Amino acid sequence: DMIISLGYRIKSRIATHFRRWATERLKEYMIKGFALDDKRLKELGGGDYWKELLDRIRDIRSSEKVMYRQVLDLYATSVDYDPKSRESIAFFKMVQNKLHYAAHGHTAAEVIYERADANAPFMGLTTFSGEMPTAQDITVAKNYLTESELKILNNLVSGYFDFAEVQAMKHNPMYMADYVEHLDRILSSTGEKVLEGPGTVSHAKAIEKAKAEYKKYQAKTLSSVEKAYLQTIKSLGKQAKSNVKKDK
């Protein structure tokens, strides 16, 4: 903190170089969403920071939006690719569900349906965007997973897409069914459970259940504004009592 503070205040040649370097890093972060010191990470030979970076990359890679983008890119390399086909969405759901099932024994819809609970802390969610779960958070299967389940899912996603990228780089002709077959083979070879079929709960049913539980949860949970209001009322009450005692 001191280096950054002095670097932006002092007028010298070294400070000028520092500001230029810092501005480049900030610009990269603002445009790309990340800034890395590649040289330092390579020279350190890994270490704890490298492991942390890998974990964060895997977590981002398995997020629903990023995974969907990867599945579409993968689908586009298949011989039977049709950009106008609805099969791309079905393909995404199939791949997503097989990876979820291998990680924790449930499809994405099943985990939402089974764990969305208005009576549980934070409605059963283990991860959410703000101080309290939002209507968007409750529809994401990953948000209900334990830390262990999430790590397994992240590693499975990373391993599968690494394999798929190698096939694309080798220009091996692959049909959509081939990618699914390879996924099953990878999961079987590592001793993971392989999902057969779409699962026991539909996506629509899971979302319907989650929304119903969310309404119950909202009815019994105070918002941050309501909490602040009640805290203010309590503070005013204490202050009034204190003033009464002083007057006596």
Taking the whole predicted model, whether its pTM rises above 0.85 is answered as: no
In a domain, 248, yes or no: no
Q: Could you tell me if 103 and 119 lie in one domain? A: yes
Judge whether residue 200 has pLDDT over 70. yes
In a domain, 199, yes or no: yes
Q: What pLDDT is recorded for position 107?
A: 96
Q: What pLDDT is recorded for position 142?
A: 92
Q: Could you tell me if 66 and 105 lie in one domain? A: yes
Q: Could you tell me if 58 and 79 lie in one domain? A: yes
Q: Is the dihedral of CA 233, 234, 235, 239 positive or negative?
A: positive
Q: What pLDDT is recorded for position 220?
A: 83
Domain that residue 13 falls in:
1-35
Q: Could you tell me if 104 and 11 lie in one domain? A: no
Whole-number percent of the chain with pLDDT over 70: 79
In a domain, 245, yes or no: no
In a domain, 247, yes or no: no
Q: Could you tell me if 27 and 50 lie in one domain? A: no
- Closest alpha carbon to 171 in 91, 80, 88, 77: 77
**E strand residue ranges, the chain:** none
Judge whether residue 60 has pLDDT over 60. yes
| pLDDT range class, residue 50, cuts 50, 70, 90 | low
What's the token pair of residue 92? Answer: 């995404």
Q: Could you tell me if 118 and 85 lie in one domain? A: yes
pLDDT in tens, 98-116: 999 999 999 999 999 999 9
In a domain, 244, yes or no: no
Judge whether residue 79 has pLDDT over 60. yes
Q: Could you tell me if 6 and 101 lie in one domain? A: no
Mean pLDDT score, 229-247: 72
- In angstroms, how far apart are the furthest CA atoms of the chain? 90
Q: Could you tell me if 15 and 43 lie in one domain? A: no
In a domain, 115, yes or no: yes
- Amino acid at the residue 147: E
- Amino acid at the residue 137: D
